[in-house]
Amino acid sequence: MIESCHRQLRKVTKGKNIFPADESLLKMLYLVTVDVTRKWTDRVQNWGQILLQLSFYPERIGQHLP
């Protein structure tokens, strides 16, 4: 997940060689971070299937489920 975040930040800054001010770079990185973190709250596709596969390891997953 953290690598995905870094990839998104590099993707945005790679296209720009020069920023007029440090504040403009920080603003761009902030906006990208807000957009990326919004995607983290989306639902996981096929969660039922993933949970079924994880149920083969109850000692590992049991403590994390309600």
Q: How far is CA 24 from the centre of its chain?
A: 22
Model pLDDT, residue 1: 66
Answer for the pair 27, 13: CB distance below 8 angstroms, yes or no. Answer: no
**Taken in order 47, 41, 59, 65, is the CA torsion positive or negative?**
negative
Looking at residue 66, its pLDDT comes to 63
Q: What is the number of structural domains in the chain?
A: 1
pTM for this one? 0.53
Q: Give residue 57's domain range.
A: 2-64
What are the tens digits of pLDDT across the range 7-48? 888 888 887 778 888 898 899 899 988 888 887 777 778 888
Q: How confident is the model at residue 53 (pLDDT cuts 50, 70, 90)?
A: confident
